[in-house]
Structure 1
Amino acid sequence: MNASKSKKELFLANLNQRQQEAKLVRRIVAIVALILIIIVAVVGTSGYFYIKSALQPVSSESDQEIIIDIPIGSGVSTISQLLEDNGLVKNAKVFKYYVKFKNESNFMAGEYHMNPSMSIQEIIESLKTGKIMQEPVFTMTIPEGKQLKEIAAIIAEKTNQKEDEIWKQLNDETFIKGLMAKYPDILTTEIWAKNIKYPLEGYLFPATYSYYEEKPTLEAIVSVMLDKTESVVNAYETEIARDNLTVHQFLTMSSLIEEEATKNVDRKKIASVFYNRIEQGMPLQTDPTVLYALGEHKDRVLYEDLEVNSPYNTYQNVGLPPGPIANAGTISMEAALHPEETDYLYFLASKDGKVYFSKSLNEHNDLKAKYITENN
């Protein structure tokens, strides 16, 4: 009886101890949860008031007139920074994201007379009104599929500068970090990945650009191109997120399609081959990446070229290369986001530019023998 009573008392004592421990744990959890809620509330409240303050006029009592010139071709990033630099908004990034959130657009170039007491909305409305008609000093066309080295040569020729100096600045760390601060949505830390050859490769959008100064700085020249890239990428923002791609991956895939395609009609099929191969864990085996690794332009890739030791060599490495291998136009970007639904795993282009697609290696080899080997 005493032994039974002793066991019962021991059981009750242990039970009581566990209940006390459980109460203590619950109390600690409640305290920690309360602290976290307070921290989130404080951070959220601080963020709210910071943004609210940034959207207020710089100086509501000021009657100072500030003349600001918005150059033709300026994008939202450039305009936002100009407004902050001239003391018309408190924070360029807050202004930029406010404009994006409100879906505001159609800002016009021109000379504006503003003052620091203007509200954000007044500034936005003002930017939609003034337009200057001015002949460009020069224009510059950057074709699709151009690599950064080729773009450097075009800039040098158009501005009468030395190509090696342009090239050096385009790859200068301080120069690039300045651009990253200005374009954080597109120029992310991925451009500094370990195996990237040139950080700005693939980010200078192909288009014809107009310049209104005799000797614009390289930053001014490149900023107009990045404004365009940012504008185009923002238009695809929802689809890029849908496909769980980063901007860097999106531009990389687009560049592969751009370099492989000979005709617009083939791009979505080429994109399907790349995605099918990635899904099956197959290397992409696209010749332009080999040429990029070699740093050469050749009409034909040789078997010995396929052995080049480079992370860009998609014959030796599975998945996308470290970064873009050229710039891409909107047609290739569309293909990257909307590939055709196919079972193709291979394609080849004949000398007349026609592209042949196949589902198996045997079929691919037969097409190669018919359209490539026979013609040599």
Structure 2
Amino acid sequence: MYNDQFFQKDAQIVRKIVLIVCIAVFIACIAIAGGSYFYIKSALQPVDPDDRTPVHISIPIGSSVNDIANMLEEKQLIKSSLVFRYYVKLKNHVGFQAGEYRLNRSMSMEDIIAVLKTGKVTEKKGLKLTIPEGTQITQIAAIIAEKTGYKKEEVLRQLNDRKYIENLIQKYPSILSKDILNKNIRYPLEGYLFPATYSFHEKKPSIAEIVETMLRKTEKVLAKYERDKKEMNMTTHQLLTMSSLIEEEATEKADREKIASVFYNRLRIGMPLQTDPTVLYALGKHKDRVYYKDLEVKSPYNTYIHKGLPPGPIANAGEMSIRAALKPAKTDYLYFLATPAGDVIFTKTLEEHNREKEKYIGKQ
């Protein structure tokens, strides 16, 4: 009797254990199935629906589906080479052609597969924009207007639209902050539109698409220098502001690292930066020569009358100037002078600077 009760109790415990194990396995299977479904669904979607930057890919003759899948994943045109291979097999896609292609990360997996069956370059004759280093917002607006048919005023209006800028700050928090909303800043995105050549599929993409393509490029470039920026204890806004000063002062022959050292040396001793490009930016016009009367312009951008960095960038700097701002040379120089020939002369004292200035430029 005692043994029967003992075995019945053991049997109940075993049944409970088996039931718990079965339920756990069932839940795990559902979780795995659900996770797999969402993973596969995500993998079939575009890598970045907003990124239409052309990506060149060359498919050699004799490439297998595995080879193509790996190349697409390496170029970040698809999220998973494994899903690509199984999808191709499941849908019975055949007839991939060797060739040179220009795809983009806004394309779905099905779109990419369709293109790879043509054997032809898929790049459309769209829009190409070239933004030179040191270009200012007003100049960028003029370039966009000239190439697209938008009015310059229309471009500038969007670039100054507060709601649009606030939306961009939320969308690109790694580079944009409320610093660009400072009331003293003339154009919030000045300095943030990276100078480069951009290609678009459409002849007249939206202004927002053009602007955000440039912001993504800035984001990509600055990501390489995140550690350097932290070591310099600089915000992105400070970095791009300093970079713009270096960009505007530099000539082809200029040593940007030495120019950066002059600016940092002046900041360290509390001396005004006294850089002419900030005066020209304050005046809102280009001049071949800055006169003493120009230095009196009342503007927060005028570094002759205000110490420290100006409220924001005065131009859109290239990578060389960004790198110089992060890795300045170690010097005792406090002055530099660009000669008419494009050479830059560095000096330690005002007396030396004035002597070189009179020698190469003359008295103002």
Question: Taking structure 1 as the reference length, what is the TM-score of the superposition?
Answer: 0.68
**Counterpart amino acid of residue 127 in structure 2:** F
User: 1: distance between equivalents of 2:228 and 2:268?
Assistant: 19
Superposition pairs of residues 254-273 of structure 1, within 5 angstroms: 254-263=243-252, 265-273=254-262
Change (3 A) 1:72 1:369: same
1:153 counterpart (120, 129, 142): 142
Q: TM-score, normalised by structure 2?
A: 0.70
Aligned partner of 2:31 in structure 1 is: none
| 1:215 Cα deviation after fit | 2.4
Residue equivalent to 1:276: 265
Query: Is 1:285 equivalent to 2:265 in the alignment?
Result: no
Q: 1:167 aligns with which of 156, 179, 197?
A: 156
Task: Give structure 1 regions of 4+ aligned residues with deviation exceeding 3 angstroms.
Answer: 56-72, 129-133
Task: Measure how far apart 1:334 and its partner are.
Answer: 1.0
1:156-185: per-residue Cα shift (whole Å, max 9, x none)?
Answer: 111111111111111111121222121111
Contact 2:54 2:123 in 1 (8 A): no
Cα distance in 1 between the residues matched to 2:35 and 2:125: 34
Counterpart check, 1:72 vs 2:41: no
SS in 2 for 1:356: strand
How many Å separate the matches in 1 of 2:134 and 2:240?
A: 12
For 2:174 and 2:290, the matched residues in 1 are separated by 36
- Per the TM alignment, residue 193 of structure 1 is displaced from its structure 2 partner at its CA by 1.6
The answer (yes or no) to whether the contact 1:272–1:344 under 8 Å persists in 2 is yes
**Residue 211 of structure 1: aligned partner:** 200
Q: Is the 8 A contact 1:70 1:109 kept in 2?
A: no
Point out where structure 1 has 5 or more consecutive residues left out of the alignment: 1-55, 76-103
- Percent identity at matched positions? 55
Corresponding residue number in structure 2 for 1:107: 76
- Aligned partners of 1:243 and 1:355: how far apart in 2? 25
The question of 1:176 aligning with 2:156 is answered no
Q: Are residues 141 and 358 of structure 1, via their aligned partners in 2, closer, same or farther at CA, if it must alter by over 3 Å?
A: same
1:187 aligns with 2:156: no
**2:317 aligned residue:** 328
1:17-36 equivalence runs, <5 A: none
Query: Could you say what secondary structure the match of 1:213 adopts?
Result: coil
Question: Displacement of 1:203 after TM fit?
Answer: 0.4
Describe the shift of the 1:161–1:109 C-alpha distance in structure 2 as closer, same or farther (beyond 3 A). farther
2:299 aligned residue: 310
- Per the alignment, residue 201 of structure 1 pairs with 190
The answer to whether residue 364 in structure 2 is matched with residue 364 in structure 1 is no
Q: RMSD of aligned C-alpha atoms? A: 3.2
Letter of the 2:52 partner, please give it: I
SS for the counterpart of 2:288 is coil
Equivalent pairs counted in the alignment come to 282
- Is this contact kept in 1: 2:339–2:360, CA < 8 A? yes
When residues 58 and 287 of structure 1 are mapped into structure 2, their CA distance, relative to the original with a 3 A threshold, is: farther
